[in-house]
Chain A
Amino acid sequence: MAEQTVKKIATREGYGEALRELGAEYPQLVVLDADLAASTKTAVFGKAYPDRHIDCGIAEANMMGVAAGLSLSGMIPFVSSFAMFAAGRAFEQVRNSIGYPHLNVKIGATHAGVTVGEDGASHQCNEDIALMRTIPGMVVMCPSDYVEAKAAVRAAIEHDGPVYIRFGRAAVSVINDHPSYHFEIGKGTIVRPGADVTIVATGICVDSAMGAAKLLEADGIQAEVVNICTIKPLDEQLIVESARKTGKVVTVEEHSVIGGLGSAVCDCLCANLPTPVKKLGMQDVFGTSGPATELVHKYGLDAEGVYKSVKEFL
């Protein structure tokens, strides 16, 4: 398929669309936002179901508690804000008012990672996966494209318990639009088989990993690309099997290399099959303002950057 014909759409668009679809099936679905409904795409739901769209204003801490209370009233709340505020500012509310009582609250956090772009470091959340993973019982997902975003939202509503889903602002290639696509919480997928190196990626970096794999193929290197949408619980079996086959693992995420996918993969391999791992992501630095594509390039998270890092590692 020629590059220019690949459809590009942001994962947050899939979030809004999935909520709208689920609104008809689940009368107990209620969506909360904190003055960002147009950006998080919950406005799509709000337009269809205005009585079940609660704008809490710019007050994320309270919003998390309100969601907890709604959940205890038998509703299924999806709570939205930018990842910085949902996972960052309101961390302790998510931990104590949602995680500790293990309530059926879903957090849809958009504008995660550096692809927030021009807004800069203050709004580029590279820490949310790390924060959310530490909460016992919390499911953490990061969909790779529009199709997976919709599937993850549906899986989240069908799951009983707290779920954190991370969405991006920027348009990304649709890579899962095929009939055999199947989504299950906790299951990763091999999107490209290979025997020389494993590239484990999450979110928008799955597309970069696929691009890198193509470039590596030209050099005679067969990379196996593993898409990990559910970072917690991690598909340990898939990762261990792939690592056993290739012997070398590279992780790619639009997130700090501390505490995110890379750390989760290392935790898994340390315990099960010690394997050399190179973690690509934000290398303990804050982001900066700029267009999303240029930032992804600057931090080595585009196909070319991943390709170069894999070559260095091998």
Chain B
Amino acid sequence: MLNLELKKRANDIRKGIIEGTHSAKAGHPGGSLSAADVFAFLYFEELHVDSAKPDWEDRDRFVLSKGHTAPGLYAALAHKGFFPVEDLKTLRKLGSYLQGHPDLHIPGVDMASGSLGQGISAAAGMALGAKMKQKDYRVYTLLGDGEIEEGQVWEAAMFAGFRKLDNLCVIVDNNNLQIDGPIDQVCSPYPIDKKFEAFNFHVINADAHDFDSLRAAFAEARATKGMPTCIVIKSIKGKGVSYMENNADWHGKAPNDAEYEIAMADLDKIEKELAEEANK
């Protein structure tokens, strides 16, 4: 897909994140926005998935290990056609299938997640399962940079590296912020790349908001044999919404009505710029 088209998709996803969290009066916009471009890249270019057949046996799998950024995943799934976009406004509401964190009943969701550190293990299990069943689908999982403070992440990394799960692609969203502040001031997991290298991963550093960078990274991951890949994507928390960018306060807080208007104006402006770029 053209980068311009991917940028539009990412902006749609960002709007979905704001719509969902504003409507829910809860949720996690910051980390959803930092991952919006990678959600767009995964669902509109990288993953072999079919919204008409969510349970297709040979589909690529995606596990959102940083499950609190469900608003971003849900927006991507909705725009991909797994369920209606207007349902995003039911996020977190009583009776809605769009649970606060990913749930297996949601079309397109491959694993329940949200308790940090657990998704990567399930993804490793899926990758091993593909090998055991001689299937050639790939498994992707997205982790937060704060999430990798969880010990289970390194149990899973040891397992995946040792088992040479080259059908597994771990993505770390390195926006440098967790709830209590910058990750290097809370309990630093840096250097992230060298840690995964030490666990026998092929490691690629990429720009989370540059589709050429993401495209090259995922192509390199697919071409890597004999070891799993970890792509560390350097990102901006809250990316796209002026007042949320690089602000840990927006980790788990929803915009109120006034903030919603500002956020949507920011995203409308980007949409307009993209339309102008398309007309050039």
A interface vs B, CB < 8 Å? 30, 51-52, 54, 56-57, 59, 61-75, 92-93, 96-97, 100-102
Q: Looking at the complex, which one of A63, A73, A100 makes contact with B112 (CB distance below 8 Å)? A: A100
Q: Do A66 and B115 have beta carbons less than 8 Å apart?
A: no
User: Known contacts A59-B155, A66-B124, A69-B122; is A96 also within 8 Å of B112 by CB?
Assistant: yes
Listed in ascending order, the chain B residues whose CB lies under 8 Å from chain A are: 57, 61, 63, 103-104, 110-112, 114-115, 117-130, 132-133, 135, 139, 151-152, 155-156, 158-159, 162
Docked pose: A70 CA to B128 CA in angstroms: 7
A91 CA to B121 CA, complexed, in Å: 15
Other A-B contacts than A69-B111, A75-B132, 19 sampled, CB-CB below 8 A, are: A51-B132, A59-B159, A61-B121, A61-B151, A61-B152, A62-B124, A65-B122, A65-B152, A66-B122, A66-B124, A68-B125, A70-B132, A71-B125, A72-B126, A73-B125, A93-B152, A96-B112, A96-B115, A97-B118
**Distance between A69 CB and nearest chain B CB, rounded to angstroms:** 2
**Nearest neighbor of A34 in chain B, beta-carbon distance:** B155
Name A's interface SS: helix
Query: Known: A93-B152, A101-B104. Contact between A72 and B111, CB under 8 A?
Result: yes
Contact yes or no, B123 A73, CB < 8 A: no
Chain A residues whose CB sits within 8 angstroms of the CB of B123 once the complex forms: 69
Q: In the assembly, what is the distance between CA of A61 and CA of B120, in Å?
A: 11
A93 and B118 form a contact (CB under 8 A): yes
Give the shortest distance, in Å, between A83 (CB) and chain B (any CB). Answer: 20
**Known contacts A68-B125, A69-B122; A101/B132 CB under 8 A:** no
Which residues of chain A have C-beta atoms less than 8 A from B115's C-beta? 92, 96-97
Q: Pick from B104, B126, B127, B129 the residue with the most CB of A within 10 Å.
A: B129
CB distance from A15 to the nearest CB of B (A): 22
A97 to B63, CA, bound (A): 12
B133: chain A residues at CB < 8 Å are 73-75
Q: Are B159 and A101 closer than 8 Å at their CB atoms?
A: no
Task: Pick the 3 closest A-B CB pairs, nearest first.
Answer: A69-B125, A65-B121, A73-B129
Complex contact A72–B159 (CB within 8 A): no
B110 pairs with A72, CB closer than 8 A: yes
- Which A residue sits closest to B152, measured CB to CB? A61
CB-based contact B122/A56 at 8 Å: no
Residues of A within 8 A of B122 (CB): 65-66, 68-69, 72, 97
Docked pose: A52 CA to B129 CA in angstroms: 10
The answer, among A52, A57, A67, for a CB contact under 8 Å with B158, is A57
Knowing A57-B159, A72-B111, A97-B112 touch, does A64 contact B121 (C-beta < 8 A)?
yes
Closest Cβ–Cβ distance, residue A96 to chain B (whole Å):
4
- Give A54 to B126 CA distance when docked, in angstroms: 14
CB of B107 to closest CB in A, whole Å: 15
